[in-house]
Amino acid sequence: MNVYQTNEIKNIALLGSKGSGKTTLAEAMLYECGVIKRRGTVEQNNTVCDYFPVEKEYGYSVFSTVFYAEFLNKKLNVIDCPGGDDFVGNAVTALNVTDTGVIVVNGQYGVEVGTQNIFRTATRVNKPVIFALNQLDGEKADYDNVMEQMREHFGNRIVAIQYPLNAGPGFNAMIDVLLMKKYSWGPDGGAPIIEDIPADQLERARELNQKLVEAAAENDETLMEKFFEKGSLTEDEMREGIRKGLVDRSIYPVFCVSAVKDMGVRRMMEFLGNVVPFVEDMPAPVDIEGREVKPDSNGPVSLYMFKTTVEPHIGEVSYFKVMSGTLKPGADLDNVTRGSKERIAQIYCVCGQIKNSVDELHAGDIGATVKLKDVRTGNTLDEKGCDYAFDFIKYPEPKYQRAVRPATESDAEKLNGILTRMHEEDPTWIVEQSKELKQTIVKGQGEFHLRTLKWRVENNDKLPIIFEEPRIPYRETITKAARADYRHKKQSGGAGQFGEVHLIVEPYTEGMAAPDTYRFGNQEYKMSVRDTQEIPLEWGGKLVVHNCIVGGAIDARFIPAIVKGLMDRMEQGPLTGSYARDVRVCIYDGKMHPVDSNEISFRLAARNAFSEAFRNSGPKILEPVYDVEVLVPSDVMGDVMSDLQGRRAIIMGMESDSGFEKIVAKVPLKEMGSYSTALSSITGGRSSFTMQFASYELVPSDVQEKLLKDYAEKQAEE
């Protein structure tokens, strides 16, 4: 294939809600460019983009697919992304490494929650957006209604490039108001008939053309002056104005297509080739040092590895964007992220699973290589002397989690290796070995996201696994002061064990005054603080220990052992075995033996004294509470609200958000386990939500009683 310079390369993300027809559109684009001779279909499992076994099993995209098209003497790199909200990580990656997003909208259902979420992601990363209004040949297609929805959701920057003459099953013609021509097709689509606009459509076409001209002229003072002088712009001037409008996101062009019949696809591709920004038109990315890295083919070679897959008969395939320089096979590069060295033996341009060797790739281009030694998704590879490093992709927080274990315990190590590899393929699959919960936790964007992971482990790696409800990371704390003492004494021949510890525990709050006097019953205890240790806990909160020993009742050399005993119980709280937090301890008295006292004796004495005092200090269990935002259509808001309230949610607010309703709530993590599935069921998949850890809060008394009972039964069994 040809070698393309930076100013001949355009990178495009193909995006849209599930069922909008992206994969079918990608197939039509490949066909129009001559990359494939026959279009495949999702139903027949023979498309270029859905080639993984799990995609053929489920019948829709699970992973993003990279493909390229040589068109109008330019190279279009396209990343086709899955539409399901569970696989949003692919869209986030694609928008970060491409320069324009083409958002496919279902002409029958209009703007969906997924459409809006993708648009928000494009806005967050400041990328141009083009809309492709697809399925205009569907039974429920309604062009005018969908355009009205789009203006409601995305504002007046929505500008029609085309409009259909007969949306619905008979769709076969449209008016292009940029070229001011009528396009029509035969029953099977394909090459269009291009002719003048009929008289009965001229007025509407001219009105829309005028709006398009005005939108293009707004982005360039010179064009604005020409527009005022002549009242119109040439086709080239229009292209330049629209390109500038795309870059600063002041215009969102809308195209009309039927991907399944290949109607309007070539015309949209002409716009992609002629009008959308080149790599060098977009703001330069910055590295972790804040330096702009322009796509300069003469600069040092720097690659950003944005995607990893494991493919049958090939192994690991690493996809990259050339951030700077010109890459050639045989290049020796430094992995600046991991501190290792790599040789890029071969480089490919990719169309799904088809890989074509190339002699070089210039700055801004997208390619792939295979069998690297030590490269992970998100790594930067530089030539010697270059120190660029990139970290610009920020993924959404996970929304669904499960504990996972192999069906056969001896396969635990094998499973860990598989999960690590799968995280490399999809960074939104997060794997955590939880010391606290004593479980391996896998987290993702939804129930189907993790079900896909399970399918792949069991079918590709032939390892049966079990998903379970993960334990909740509760916390234990206290609400009042309490006193206790404990003597550990053991005599069994030879040296014995002896240690006695007297202590007081109370709730700790930041900035509280040093202890002075405590009263329990009729007895008063005065404290004289000799030493203080503040121990920040890795799970949150603090343990503060005051040494108030006077008169040498306990030798100073035993204090570290006492603190270890306290930490033993902070790591395994007396109530449910959960981590304890925010406790202050005053060690004020005790006894020791000149021969039998040792560190283990005082550690055990402190552990038991702390447990007794903790139980008498108004102990409470805390649970993790999350900030949850739910975006739903207004017609199901009542049902969603009722469901949330049944999950002990505290509704913090509601507001309209571009045609949808946004519910903001605080919800205990315990109640969010099945929320992804429940929300999809309630709303027919027309909603989405985000969740982020907020704080630890006291559990209700009935919940605490149940937790204490369950823990007691478990201890009895053990």
pLDDT in tens, 516-542: 999 998 999 999 999 999 999 999 999
- The per-residue pLDDT for range 74-111, each reduced to its tens digit, is 999 999 999 888 888 999 999 999 999 999 999 999 99
Provide mean pLDDT across the span 191-215: 93
Q: Which helix (H) or strand (E) holds 665?
A: strand 660-668
Provide mean pLDDT across the span 151-171: 93
* Phi-psi region at 139: left, alpha or beta (left = phi > 0; alpha = psi -120 to 50): alpha
Confidence bin at 18 (pLDDT 50/70/90): confident
Q: In this structure, how many other beta carbons lie within 10 angstroms of the beta carbon of residue 314? A: 12
DSSP 582-642: SEEEEEEEEE--TTT--HHHHHHHHHHHHHHHHHTS--EEEEEEEEEEEEE-GGGHHHHHH
At 697 the pLDDT is 94
At 688 the pLDDT is 87
Domain at 9-205+246-281: CATH code:
3.40.50.300
Residue range(s) of every CATH 3.30.70.240 domain in the chain:
622-703
Length of the chain (residues): 718
Round to whole Å and give the CA distance between 688 and 686.
Answer: 7
Helices (H), 79-186: 88-97, 113-124, 143-154
Contacts of 520-524 with CB under 8 Å at 24 or more apart are 520/481, 520/482, 520/483
Report the CATH fold assignment for 302-382: Elongation Factor Tu (Ef-tu); domain 3 (2.40.30)
Helix, coil or strand: residue 414 = helix
At 634 the pLDDT is 86
Nearest to 673 by CA among 624, 637, 636, 622: 624
Give the bridge partners for 104, in sequence order. Answer: 16, 132
pLDDT-above-70 percentage for the chain: 98
Q: What is the mean pLDDT of the chain?
A: 91
Confidence bin at 9 (pLDDT 50/70/90): very high
Confidence bin at 35 (pLDDT 50/70/90): confident
- Whether the CA torsion 312, 313, 314, 316 is positive or negative: it is positive
- The per-residue pLDDT for range 664-706, each reduced to its tens digit, is 999 999 999 889 889 988 988 888 899 999 999 999 999 999 9
What is the rounded (10 degree) CA torsion for 258, 261, 263, 268?
70
Round to whole Å and give the CA distance between 81 and 540.
Answer: 38
Strands 439-444 and 400-406: antiparallel
Task: Judge whether 297 and 326 are in contact, CB under 8 Å.
Answer: yes
User: Scanning the structure block, which residue is given the tokens 């049944």?
Assistant: 646
CB within 8 Å of 59: residues ≥ 6 apart:
42, 43, 45
Nearest to 106 by CA among 16, 30, 185: 16
At 43 the pLDDT is 67
Structure tokens at 183: 């396009």
**Higher-scoring residue by pLDDT: 509, 84:** 509
Domain at 622-703: CATH code:
3.30.70.240
**Higher-scoring residue by pLDDT: 229, 317:** 317
Round to whole Å and give the CA distance between 99 and 101.
Answer: 7
pTM: 0.84
Domain at 400-471: CATH code:
3.30.70.870
- The per-residue pLDDT for range 304-351, each reduced to its tens digit, is 999 998 887 788 899 999 999 999 999 999 999 999 999 999 999 999
Q: 51-65, 124-138, 466-480: lowest mean pLDDT where?
A: 51-65
Q: At what angle do helices 113-124 and 143-154 cross, to 10 degrees?
A: 40
- The per-residue pLDDT for range 255-289, each reduced to its tens digit, is 999 999 999 999 999 999 999 999 999 999 999 99
Confidence bin at 60 (pLDDT 50/70/90): low
Round to whole Å and give the CA distance between 69 and 102.
Answer: 15
Provide mean pLDDT across the span 13-26: 91
At 442 the pLDDT is 96
Structure tokens at 663: 């519910």
Provide mean pLDDT across the span 569-588: 94
- The per-residue pLDDT for range 114-135, each reduced to its tens digit, is 898 899 999 999 999 999 999 9
Instruction: Report CA Rg, the chain.
Output: 32
Predicted confidence (pLDDT) at residue 620 exceeds the cutoff of 70: yes
Task: Judge whether 631 and 113 are in contact, CB under 8 Å.
Answer: yes
Task: Judge whether 461 and 312 are in contact, CB under 8 Å.
Answer: no
Helix, coil or strand: residue 172 = coil
Task: Judge whether 211 and 158 are in contact, CB under 8 Å.
Answer: no
Q: Within 13 Å, how many C-alpha atoms sit on residue 80's CB side?
A: 28
Round to whole Å and give the CA distance between 421 and 35.
Answer: 31
Predicted confidence (pLDDT) at residue 718 exceeds the cutoff of 70: no
Predicted confidence (pLDDT) at residue 477 exceeds the cutoff of 90: yes
**Higher-scoring residue by pLDDT: 61, 704:** 704
Residue range(s) of every CATH 3.40.50.300 domain in the chain:
9-205+246-281
Domain at 479-618: CATH code:
3.30.230.10
Predicted confidence (pLDDT) at residue 239 exceeds the cutoff of 90: no
DSSP 220-262: -HHHHHHHHHHSS--HHHHHHHHHHHHHTT--EEEEE-BTTTT
- Whether the CA torsion 593, 598, 603, 604 is positive or negative: it is negative
